[in-house]
Amino acid sequence: MGPVSRAQRPIAEDIAAQRLLPAEAPLPMAPGDLGKNRVRDRIPAPVTPAMAWRRGLILLSTAALTGGGGYEMYRVLQVGGVTVLEAMVLALFLVLLAWVAFSFASAMAGFFVLLVHRPGAFAPDGELPAIASRTAMLLPTYNEDPHRLTARLRAIIESLETTSRGKLFDWYVLSDSTDPDIWVAEEKAVLALRQAVGTRLYYRHRADNTARKAGNISEWITRFGGVYDFMIVLDADSLMSGQTIVRLVHAMESNPSAGLVQTLPMVVNARSLFSRVQQFAGRLYGPMIAAGVAWWHGSEGNYWGHNAIIRVKAFAEAAALPQLRGRKPFGGHILSHDFVEAALMRRAGWGIYMLPTLGGSYEEVPPSLLDFAARDRRWCQGNLQHLAVVPARGLHWVSRLHFMVGIGAYLTAPLWLLFLLLGMLISLQARFVRPEYFPKGFSLFPSWPAQDPVLAIWVFAATMGLLLLPKLLSLILVWMRGSVRRQFGGALRASAGLFAEIVVSALMAPVMMIFQSIAVVEILAGRDAGWQTQRRDDGTVERRELYRKYGVPTLCGVVMAASAYAVSLPLLLWMSPVIVGLLFAVPIGALSARPASGKLFVTPEEREPPAVLRRANELSASADLAIKPALVELRGDAALLAFHVAQLPPPRAARPETVDPNLAVGRAKVDASETFDQAAAHLSSREVFSILNDGSALSAVLDKR
């Protein structure tokens, strides 16, 4: 093959002789079926009276707040009789208020749960429990930076080794990467990690990433899942401490009916203003919100797709996903697979739990509003796909509620926009359309079109109270606990951070409302989101891209401002919280994507980084981030080449339906090239990817002089 020194050949032969994957232990997964529940030997646990009381309290509180607010809104509108437009506004208000009230009731439950909870909830101490189960640590990846990926993974491995329970765990990097350069760089990074940690670390690459992450996990189960009791699923940006991992395994061992236990990941490593705001908000409000939902979800919890432990056999028997009927975006593979997997496991009788106060679980967020919106677009499509899952037979009603909440998270955006537009339309109508003071038919008195402005202010204030009070209660919990208060930088800095977060979030919320509304319209029109690689660090955007992406929100702001001003200056001032965010979408988007000072939005993990986070950041900082062209990398490294070739599946029999056009064209280009450099220069990325999956084609190109 290519120019490899004699000293490298023994290394290459040794690497090729290694078992790169363990012996297969197949565990079948039947195709998913929403029409019937195949698992009949497990009876779902009955709801205890205490849990029924909790759920009833949440639902009754939601109904009471919605009914009271709706009645007051009716009083605002009925002064001169309710018109058709006003009736539409009232209906939208009821739907949106129910959404706000439901979140408020759940958050209030979380406040009282944490109020009586011990202060050290997020740093459990004491002796680690003994465990005996075999657990697989799964890290699916798709075109991620391999150096940062393995740096985080090494930090988790080293953290677990310090618990003396490391022998019970195997580690799998499950690659779906389609970028050939990243694929080979992954192999090089994993090979270096194997040599560094000396643990049971395996790597598998799929040439065809069918069903994306869900398919990646299910393919692993059907090949290797039979010998493992549990699996912990990570994301590319996940971090977990060894103590947390051990406690998760112990929690599963202690509850044989548990199918899945979800942790609450805290956001770390935020650098831009946008990500720092998300990090601060998640750390301040997240524990209270999570404690609330865990309090009334009980064994009918949810799954967020990562940083969770799963009983392998339970997942295999119950959580296989079906393909939805019809075309994309509603048909095909389910994008938001995690909700569905949790619901199917619960349908089979397995408990789905959350441990919101365990701690030691971390993740990262996109660095800019545009990156967040791109990921959110995919989630929007996945959640709207759940419309086809809600009617599935045998689901627990709380599981159906999870789906409806996920769907509502996106449908409320266009509903808010419609609510605002109808309100402005009513104002414009009153300003420019001559009213009918005496309608048809007998009437002794004229009909005066009017609303009650004072009562309207009170309704608005009450609605804002439902939105903001949970945030203030989260701050009170921090004030009450000295150790946590100091970790946030003191009461004054935490308070300043909260009020700054409210302002920044209020400026960005109208833009997200427009983005989500556009996403819903696009999906309803049949446009598929696809699956893009997520940026992790740099959120800066070129000026042209800023204008292009933020142009629609800005235009909406101009139209709203002109319409409001045409009615009256007070209406413009009343609408200013929404209009300002839209009018200044471009500068807000640009500024929020830039690196921000760490003085304001301080979090405990930032002031006192946990050991696993410190170690991951040290390894990331010292990593060689350069990624070379795949063919060049393989040609110059015999050990890496042997590692790559040893993993390739056996060649398939040549048939007309299995011909790869990219491979055929790539081989033709290689045959027509006189040198390696000439061949490499003319091969497209897809052609290189196909060649990397074919041993003979790879040999042909590397053997060029």
Distance (Å, rounded) from C-alpha 682 to C-alpha 673?
9
Range(s) of the domain holding residue 698: 654-705
> Does any domain span residue 661?
yes
pLDDT, residue 112, reads 96
Structure tokens at 300: 């009918």
Q: Which pairing describes strands 239-240 and 361-363: parallel, antiparallel, or unpaired?
A: antiparallel
560 pLDDT more than 80:
yes
Q: Which of 86-100, 323-337, 360-374, 682-696 has the lowest mean pLDDT?
A: 323-337
> Does any domain span residue 681?
yes
> Does any domain span residue 39?
no
> Does any domain span residue 694?
yes
Q: What is the mean pLDDT of residues 7-22?
A: 53
> Does any domain span residue 247?
no
- Report which listed range, 106-110, 389-393, 643-647, is most confident: 106-110
Beta bridge partner(s), residue 87: none
For 360: left if phi > 0, alpha if psi spans -120 to 50, otherwise beta; the answer is left
Q: What is the mean pLDDT of residues 134-143?
A: 97
Confidence of residue 571 (pLDDT cuts 50, 70, 90): confident
pLDDT, residue 49, reads 87
Q: Where are the beta strands (DSSP E) in 291-338?
A: 308-311
CB-based contact 9:638 (threshold 8 Å)? yes
Confidence of residue 659 (pLDDT cuts 50, 70, 90): confident
622 pLDDT more than 90:
no
pLDDT, residue 198, reads 80
Token pair 């701050």 is found at: 475
93 pLDDT more than 70:
yes
Contacts of 606 (CB under 8 A, 6+ apart): 268, 279, 598
Distance (Å, rounded) from C-alpha 682 to C-alpha 238?
37
> Does any domain span residue 678?
yes
Q: What is the mean pLDDT of residues 452-464?
A: 81
> Does any domain span residue 505?
no
Confidence of residue 39 (pLDDT cuts 50, 70, 90): low
Burial category of 440 from C-beta neighbours within 10 Å (exposed 0-12, middle 13-18, buried 19 and up): exposed
Contacts of 326 (CB under 8 A, 6+ apart): 332
Q: How many CB atoms lie within 10 A of CB 52?
A: 13
pLDDT, residue 370, reads 93
pLDDT, residue 17, reads 45
CB-based contact 355:249 (threshold 8 Å)? no
Burial category of 656 from C-beta neighbours within 10 Å (exposed 0-12, middle 13-18, buried 19 and up): exposed
pLDDT, residue 279, reads 97
Contacts of 517 (CB under 8 A, 6+ apart): 413, 414, 417
pLDDT, residue 18, reads 54
Q: What is the mean pLDDT of residues 321-326?
A: 88
Residue 532 is classified by DSSP as P
pLDDT, residue 103, reads 97
* Sequence-ordered alpha helix ranges (H) in 48-83: 49-77
> Does any domain span residue 255?
no
CB-based contact 178:170 (threshold 8 Å)? no
Q: What is the pLDDT of residues 263-317, one digit of tens each?
A: 999 999 999 999 999 999 999 999 999 999 999 999 999 999 999 999 999 999 9
CB-based contact 144:181 (threshold 8 Å)? no
Question: Is 437 or 421 the better-scoring residue by pLDDT?
Answer: 421
Domains contained in the chain, number:
1
126 pLDDT more than 80:
no
Beta-sheet strand order (sheet of 230-233): 201-205, 169-175, 135-141, 230-233, 308-311, 258-263, 351-355
